[in-house]
Amino acid sequence: MRLERAGTMARPYKVFTPAKASVQTGAEQTNLYTSSLRGKRVGMVVNQTSMIRQTHVVDSLLALGITIKTIFAPEHGFRGTASAGEKIGNGRDPKSGVSIVSLYGKNYKPAAAQLDSLDVVVFDIQDVGARFYTYISTLHYVMEACAEAKKPLVVLDRPNPNGHYVDGPVLDPAFKSFVGMHPIPVVHGLTVGELARMINGEKWLAGGVQCSLTVVPVKGYTHATPYTLPVAPSPNLPNRQAVLLYPSLCFFEGTNVSLGRGTDTQFQVIGSPTYPSGPYTFTPVDKPGAVNPPNKGKLCYGYDLTKIDAQKLGLSLKYLLDFYQKTPDKETFFLKTNFIDKLAGTDQLRKQVIAGVPEKAIRQSWEPALSRYKQLRKTYLLYL
User: Which H, E and C letters describe 170-195, residue by residue?
Assistant: ECCHHHCECCECCCCEEECCCCHHHH
What gap in Å lies between CA 73 and CA 26, rounded to an integer?
19
What's the pLDDT tens digit per position in 229-241?
999 998 899 999 9
Inter-residue contact 159 to 231 (CB < 8 Å): no
Q: Which of 127, 87, 128 is nearest to 105 (CA)?
A: 87
Predicted local distance difference test score (pLDDT) of residue 84: 53
Quick one: 143 and 274 in the same domain? no
Please say if the pLDDT value at position 294 is more than 80.
yes
> Is residue 87 very low, low, confident or very high in pLDDT (cuts 50, 70, 90)?
low
Quick one: 265 and 212 in the same domain? no
Inter-residue contact 232 to 80 (CB < 8 Å): yes
Domain contains 224: no
Phi first, then psi: give them for residue 353, nearest 5 degrees. Answer: -65, -45
What's the pLDDT tens digit per position in 253-277?
999 999 999 999 999 999 999 999 8
Q: Across all residues in the chain, what is the average pLDDT?
A: 91
Supply the DSSP string of 152-167, one letter for each residue.
Answer: -EEEE----TTTT--E
**What is the model's pTM?**
0.91
Phi first, then psi: give them for residue 185, nearest 5 degrees. Answer: -75, 170
Quick one: 247 and 206 in the same domain? no
Task: State the CATH number of the domain containing residue 247.
Answer: 3.90.1150.140
Predicted local distance difference test score (pLDDT) of residue 94: 80
Instruction: Say if residue 368 is preceded by a cis peptide, omega within 30 of 0.
Output: yes
Inter-residue contact 316 to 303 (CB < 8 Å): no
Predicted local distance difference test score (pLDDT) of residue 17: 44
Quick one: 44 and 136 in the same domain? yes
What's the pLDDT tens digit per position in 183-206?
999 999 999 999 999 999 999 999
Quick one: 83 and 48 in the same domain? yes
Quick one: 205 and 293 in the same domain? no
Domain contains 30: yes
Inter-residue contact 144 to 96 (CB < 8 Å): no
User: Which residues, 6+ apart, have CB-to-CB distance to 111 below 8 Å?
Assistant: 145
Predicted local distance difference test score (pLDDT) of residue 3: 25
> Is residue 4 very low, low, confident or very high in pLDDT (cuts 50, 70, 90)?
very low
Quick one: 266 and 135 in the same domain? no
Quick one: 156 and 261 in the same domain? no
| Domain's final residue, options 216, 249, 269 | 216
How many of the other CB atoms lie within 10 Å of CB of 31?
7
Q: Virtual CA dihedral for 33, 39, 43, 46, nearest 10 degrees?
A: 40
Residue 170 carries which side chain, given as an amino acid letter?
A: V
Please say if the pLDDT value at position 299 is more than 60.
yes
Quick one: 200 and 254 in the same domain? no
- Between 154 and 20, the more confident residue is 154
Domain contains 381: no
- Between 120 and 95, the more confident residue is 120
Q: Which of 45, 185, 173, 51 is nearest to 108 (CA)?
A: 45
Residue 202 carries which side chain, given as an amino acid letter?
A: E
* Residue percentage of the chain with pLDDT more than 70: 91
| Domain's final residue, options 181, 216, 251 | 216
Quick one: 142 and 176 in the same domain? yes
Residue numbers of the domain that contains 54:
4-216
Task: State the CATH number of the domain containing residue 72.
Answer: 3.40.50.12170
Domain contains 254: yes
Q: Which of 233, 278, 193 is nearest to 16 (CA)?
A: 233
Please say if the pLDDT value at position 16 is more than 90.
no
Quick one: 168 and 38 in the same domain? yes
Inter-residue contact 78 to 46 (CB < 8 Å): yes
Please say if the pLDDT value at position 381 is more than 70.
yes
Please say if the pLDDT value at position 9 is more than 90.
no
What's the pLDDT tens digit per position in 23-66?
999 999 999 999 999 999 999 999 999 999 999 999 999 999 99
Domain contains 233: no
Residue 143 carries which side chain, given as an amino acid letter?
A: M
Residue 61 carries which side chain, given as an amino acid letter?
A: L
What's the pLDDT tens digit per position in 360-379?
999 999 999 999 999 999 99
Domain contains 190: yes
> Is residue 326 very low, low, confident or very high in pLDDT (cuts 50, 70, 90)?
very high
- Between 375 and 1, the more confident residue is 375
* Residue percentage of the chain with pLDDT more than 90: 84
Quick one: 187 and 283 in the same domain? no
Predicted local distance difference test score (pLDDT) of residue 75: 74
Domains contained in the chain, number:
2
Supply the DSSP string of 32-69, one letter for each residue.
Answer: GTGGGTTTSEEEEEE-TT-EETTEEHHHHHHHTT-EEE
To the nearest 10 degrees (0 to 180), the angle between helices 348-355 and 318-326 is 50
- Between 16 and 119, the more confident residue is 119
Inter-residue contact 42 to 118 (CB < 8 Å): yes
Domain contains 16: yes
Q: How do 269-272 and 213-216 pair as beta strands? A: unpaired
